[in-house]
Amino acid sequence: MQKLTQEEARIILEKGTEPPFSGEYDRFFEEGIYVCRQCENPLFSSESKFKSGCGWPSFEDCIEGGVKESLDADGRRIEITCANCGGHLGHVFRGEGYTDKDTRHCVNSLSIRFKKQNA
């Protein structure tokens, strides 16, 4: 497990949310994969990342077995967490029409870390 900063812990462990348009990966589009910031479990490929304009990194799909979905405490949204360590990533939304898969994994930049292709 990686040591987390206070703000990373607030997001990942306490299920917080970073302010929109503030994350390092919101407008970031290099080739590679995104892993859990806490345990480095592979979560998303850059191939599934798209510009949603919502203020958080958005992915139409996750790496198989990387992400777990469960009903959020508010009872209305679906929370996504790392399937390995349970760290909070964000939420998944369906039926918005952004992509062919009609799915948007809305993720906090502080919950993930980018790893360059072939690095």
Q: pTM value?
A: 0.93
Tokens of 51: 């510009």
Domain span holding position 70: 6-116
| pLDDT value for 29 | 95
Helix H or strand E segment including 10 = helix 6-12
| Domain assignment present for 11 | yes
CA atoms within a 13 Å half-sphere pointing along the CA-CB vector of 43: 36
| Domain assignment present for 33 | yes
| pLDDT value for 73 | 83
| Domain assignment present for 1 | no
Distance separating alpha carbons of residues 101 and 25, to the nearest angstrom: 21
> What CATH number does the domain containing 42 carry?
2.170.150.20
Q: What is the pLDDT of residues 30-42, one digit of tens each?
A: 999 999 999 999 9
Residue 57 has pLDDT above 90, yes or no: yes
Residue type, 77: R
Query: Out of 36, 62, 82, 106, which one is annotated catalytic?
Result: 106
Residue 85 known to be catalytic: no
The total of structural domains in the chain comes to: 1
CA angle 90, 31, 64 (to 5 degrees): 50
